[in-house]
Structure 1
């Protein structure tokens, strides 16, 4: 593309990519937090307390879950907790790994992921939790799963980066591209006469239309000898004033004109 069409197309494409990336990133984050993160899918254990939970084989998330009137807007303090998971008879011990996540607050419901656990076999597990939770409202330890497609977040983040880079390049391209040259207005010919309105009819010469009609006389001016001499004397005077004739030459020519 040439001219300024190419920069405009590139600028529009960069803006579309940037807007798409921002909207997609926000939507994917919301879906990951509120839709795909099923934090209490396998049940909850009161703190302090114990419960028997059916846990499938694979990875599960363990989150601290409580209620806070008005929700939270920043960091959330988590009490020190002690967790024990007893597998069914003959099953290997689950592997618990610390994995603190972000705080999620919906109205007065607050949760934060503390651990992930690898369950070796599907079965019913005995879970016991201890800790000082004085001041917390209905504190519980929730077991669930996180099926969030985090690759979407990275994909839209990359799209945002590409959109920003494309926007900068498109702006530079637009600034450096030559401006469109406008056609000059057609030149006006001053030699041509123009008439503001209808063209008047042509003026025809007078011709007699019948016998006995005499056309009006046409008067013409013919200069006399005196007029001719006066013009010649004026010309001589102008030549003397300009320095083309000396005084002697002027006097000689003047006498010749007056004698003729």
Structure 2
């Protein structure tokens, strides 16, 4: 989790500002036309314009736009699908992905653009590609999720271990030791307490257990009667 969070943030920044080559293949003014060399595969088409300050609402608005990509002779026309992305702004220069084109053959394509861009400064459509490390973001997301699950599992396991290591509680109704404590011999034979002495010691023991909370009052009375009855 410690590695995943900064890695996720760093990857987002790199993808947005360093590795996103949105105008790698050239730009065409809106409205306007030009020839653009496009490679085979996926090509991003972004609206690119200058802005004064931050774009209104936090993003570059996408006006009604149209684009026509005429292929070389004998080549299939690229398949263009709408794919609106987030706005990236650096030093009053903003761009936002509008379409993604699937180009069948590498070649020079004639591009014609149009749109309602009266309120934009130097609007154009940029042809390029996204970051090749875009999927790395999901690697860090997976690392964070795995770390979170591991933390929860470890916490539960540690709690169960601590419960097993806790001292066992006193069990009501168990047999109390009846062997009296014998004082060390000095010069005479050790004193062996009689029956009354044993009962007295046992009564003191259960009284102490009751005072400490190990025995309930009902258990204390039951054990007391058993001792007094000589059992």
Same fold (TM over 0.5): yes
Task: Report how far residue 143 of structure 1 moved.
Answer: 0.2
Q: Is 2:112 aligned against 1:136? A: no
Task: Report how far residue 170 of structure 1 moved.
Answer: 3.4
Q: Is 2:153 aligned against 1:169? A: yes
Contact 2:25/2:36 (CA < 8 Å) preserved in 1? yes
State the superposition RMSD in angstroms: 2.1
Query: How many residues matched?
Result: 164
- The residue number in structure 2 matching 1:211 is none
Task: Report how far residue 71 of structure 1 moved.
Answer: 2.5
Query: Alignment partner for residue 50 of structure 1, among 33, 46, 60?
Result: 33
Q: Distance in 2 between matches of 1:120 and 1:154?
A: 28
Q: Distance in 1 between matches of 2:121 and 2:14?
A: 27
Gaps of 5+ in 1: 1-17, 182-260
Superposed CA deviations along residues 138-195 of structure 1, whole A, max 9, x for unmatched, are: 11100001243233111110111122222233344455554999xxxxxxxxxxxxxx
Superposed CA deviations along residues 85-130 of structure 1, whole A, max 9, x for unmatched, are: 1112222211111111122122311111111111122211111101
- The residue number in structure 2 matching 1:197 is none
Query: Alignment partner for residue 102 of structure 1, among 86, 101, 109?
Result: 86
Q: Is 2:6 aligned against 1:23? A: yes
Q: Helix, strand or coil: the match of 2:139?
A: helix
- The residue number in structure 2 matching 1:149 is 133
Q: Is 2:7 aligned against 1:34? A: no
Q: Distance in 1 between matches of 2:103 and 2:65?
A: 20
- Whose Rg is larger? 1
